[in-house]
Structures are given as structure tokens and as C-alpha cells.
Amino acid sequence: MLTILGFAMIATFLVLIMLKKMSPIAALVLIPALFCVFVGKGAKLGDYVLDGVTSLAPTAAMLMFAIVYFGVMIDVGLFDPIVRAILKFCKADPLRIVVGTAVLAAIVSLDGDGSTTFMITVSAMYPLYKRLKMSLVVMTGVAAMANGVMNTLPWGGPTARAATALKLDASDIFIPMIPALAVGLLGVLALSYVLGRRERKRLGVLTLDEVLVEEKETGSTSETVLVGAGTGTGAGGGSGSGTGFGKKAAPTGGSGSGTDADIDAPAAKDHEGAEESEDDERLAGLDPNRTTLRPKLYWFNALLTVTLLTAMIMELLPIPVLFLLGAALALTVNFPHMPDQKARLGAHAENVLNVAGMVFAAAVFTGVLTGTGMVDSMANWLVDNIPDGMGPHMAFVTGVLSIPLTYFMSNDGFYFGVLPVLAEAGQAHGVSSLEIARASLVGQPLHMSSPLVPAVYVLVGMAKVEFGDHTRFVVKWAALTSLVILAAGMLFGII
């Protein structure tokens, strides 16, 4: 009964958010509360929620201060050189932009933290997608898949959990998997190329100057040159290096799986009017003339960021504490006056509130799923229904199961709850725990878009994409990427 209710709860949640019948926060809270009553444990709902909140509170704190820290670093210009290089490569070619998104997300993912990756990637690429009217779900989907492959780094989480759960060395798990993961990353780049060609076919290859001319003809004035990339004439009459890349976005949806989200005309007009000023700020976020730039403090900020990421990788302090200290130090040094600090905190308050609210709402979902025993019941049902003839192929079975299970469960639940059971079943048929551990990493490209992963709310929130749109778009491609990694692992004899 618990198994049926568990799958029903997850299915109800996914259907409602993909059909946009409920907001993610409301669905994450109300659906598990309702199913908790169905299970007959409504009296314990408070305990389940508090357990979930307790377990996710450090994550919420980390995300809050990480958003503030990297928001300040973007404000002061730390990432402007990276953005210039990306813009110079991408120009105004949708194909290059999508491939550049994958490359940037993969590089930044080396720090092992998905939230950091998404904040930097979206901050750099959002203006290009918005300006050229590209589909924003392409950006979120490609970034999530690239980060999912790179999330298997030993300091990224899943590998360390697998090593801990099965009492293995993380390097013994990860290093042999590098060829298969490299194939998976190449698969993401190939998919980016295909999606980029699709966008190029839909939009054509433009120059940013042409886009600006089109906007002026449609009444969009007041342009501002963003971070220069290459040579050309800046908007607003400014000339010199830099491609004209303004701050006022032409109204476009782009957050759906197609060109624009499907909304009726009056609602669209209200929606565009409400978000126009927000888009102005977002597109001006990398203006080379913005007042928040601190060029004299560039190397201090670079050293502070490298030190922070190094301390995070070496686990010198808990990650929430590191970002708390980093955010406080960055604000104090770059903006010593109180009004400026308040202005920077206010500028990033919306992202902080949205993400923190989503994490605590997800705590209700995970708390009920775990506390009622539904997650254990679902996992045991799946394991018990593995045919006996598949015993010698338990590594393959583990890889296949990791795709849905790491999507519907937290990494902790899968690696500490399910993986030991799969490893024990494999050992009974002569399959080593190392093979099982390596196969368990296969599902990570899809896992990074799970509604139980807080970082995905940073991604869709900053990109202004509906979670349901992102889910509809990314699930099939992420599952395909996972299968490519599994196939490569088997072909190379790793799994």
C-alpha cells in the first residue's frame, strides 16, 4: 500500500506542476500533506516536516549566502572576463551560444557545487538568450545535464556517498569511470549542437547589432552596452570594442519548450509589463559602466573566491559557514558603506527568498516521503522485483535503476538506503561492490533536475523558467545522457 501511495504522490506532484495547475511551492507542501493523511499518519505530519526542515536547513543556509556571495561577485565584475570570452566565442549564433552554455556549465562544475554552477552560468548566458529570443529551457536543460555529468567528481557528492555507503575508496570508483563520463559529457555537447542547430534554424544567424536595430524599430530604446565581446559599435551611439548588447529585452516568452510560453494575450501583456523592469536589470547586470564595479579589488575578489572554493573542496569548514563568512567579507570589503550593502542585499533578495522558500517546501515533501516509510517501501519493491536471472548483471541493473531512483529520491536516500541492498545482491552473484558503485553514478544527469534537488530551483528561478517547462524538456534528454554513460561503461568494461 505504501509503495502505491508513494508512486502516486510523486506522479501527482509531477503531473500538476508540468500542467501548471499548481506552483512548485504549493505542490511540494500540499500534496505530501494530503498523502500523509491518506497513509493514516496525519497526526505525525508536524514531526515529519520538522525532520525534513532540520535535514535541509544547512542546504537552505548555504544557498542563501551562496546567492548573496556570487551575486556580489557578479556585481563587482569578477566574472566579466569569462563572460567576454564566452560572448566573443558565441557572437550571436544560437548554435554557438547553446554549446557555449554546456562548456561554461561543465567548467564551472569543477567546484563541485550545482548552485554555484547555475548562478554563474545563468548570469553569463541569460542576456544572450533573452536578447536573441532563444528558448530559455534550452539553457536550463543543457546546464543541468552538463552539471549532472560533472557532479560525479569525488568532491561533488554522489561518489563520496557511494564510497561511504559501501566502504570503498572514492578514487577507485571515480577514476575508472572517467572514460564513460567523458563520453557522457561529449553526448551533452553533441546534444547541445543539435539543439543549437534547431535554434539557429528557428531564429537564423544574426549579429547583435541587427537585433538592436530591430528593437529600435519596435520601439525599444535606451540601450546599454554589456560586456564587450569582439569588435563592433556599441548601442546608444557608443563605439569601440564590444558588441552592441543592450539592456532592454524585447518581450518574449522563451521559458517554455517552444519559442514562447502559451499564455493568453491579456495575461501575456500583464506578464510582460510586470517583468519588463526586472529584465532591464538582468540585462544590465554585466554593463561595463555599472556603478557596482570594483576594478581595483578584482584580484582580492578573485583570491577570495579561489580560497573559498578550495576550502569548500578540502572541507575545512561546513559549506554553509564558508559561504556565510565569504558573503559577509565580500560585502564589507567591496561595499563598506551601509546603504550600499543594503542595496546589494535588496538586489538579490528575490532570488534568495524564492530559493529558500522552495527548499523548505521541498523539506515537507522529503520529510513525508521518508517519515511515512514510502521511500523505503518503493525501493524494496523495486529491488524485490528484480528477476533472479538478472543477478549476474546487477551492475547493469543498478545503472538502470539509478536513473529513476535518483530522480524520485534524494542522493542520501538512494546511496545509503538502496545501494547497499543492490551491492549485497550483486555480491551474491559474484558482482563486485566497485562495479555496483560505479553503475550507481549513471543517473546523475537526470538527478540534477529532480524536484528534490535544491540547486535546480536556483537554475529555473534565475532563468525565470517554469519548473514544469524545464521538467518536460529535460527529462527525456537527461535520461538519454544517462543511458549513454551506462552503455559506454559497459562497452569499456568499467561496469
With residue 232 as reference, give the H or E element that holds it: strand 231-233
Task: Identify which of 308, 304, 216, 243 has the alpha carbon closest to the alpha carbon of residue 97.
Answer: 243
For the stretch 96-113, pLDDT in tens is: 999 999 998 998 887 677
Q: How confident is the model at residue 237 (pLDDT cuts 50, 70, 90)?
A: very low
For the stretch 111-126, pLDDT in tens is: 677 877 898 888 888 8
DSSP 77-130: TTTHHHHHHHHHHHTT-HHHHHHHHHHHHHHHGGGS-HHHHHHHHHHHHHHHHH
In sequence order, the 6+-apart residues with CB closer than 8 A to the CB of 194 are none
How much is the pLDDT for 356? 80
Beta bridge partners of 233: 239
Classify 173 as helix, strand or coil: helix
How much is the pLDDT for 207? 56
Q: How confident is the model at residue 206 (pLDDT cuts 50, 70, 90)?
A: low
Q: How confident is the model at residue 240 (pLDDT cuts 50, 70, 90)?
A: very low
Task: Count the helix, strand and coil residues of the chain and give each as a percent rounded to the nearest 5.
Answer: 75, 0, 25
Residue 153 confidence (pLDDT) above 60:
yes
Amino acid at 262: D
Q: How confident is the model at residue 279 (pLDDT cuts 50, 70, 90)?
A: low
Q: Are 123 and 117 in contact (CB under 8 A)?
A: no
Residue 343 confidence (pLDDT) above 80:
yes
Amino acid at 439: A
Residue 410 confidence (pLDDT) above 90:
no
Q: Are 279 and 487 in contact (CB under 8 A)?
A: no
How much is the pLDDT for 217? 52
How much is the pLDDT for 139? 95
Beta bridge partners of 239: 233
For the stretch 415-472, pLDDT in tens is: 877 888 788 778 878 889 899 999 999 999 999 998 888 889 889 988 989 888 999 9
When the pLDDT of each residue in the chain is averaged and rounded to a whole number, the result is 79
How much is the pLDDT for 333? 94
Residue in the block written with cell 561529449: 186
Least confident of 82-91, 136-145, 349-358: 82-91
Q: Are 138 and 98 in contact (CB under 8 A)?
A: yes
Residue 234 confidence (pLDDT) above 60:
no
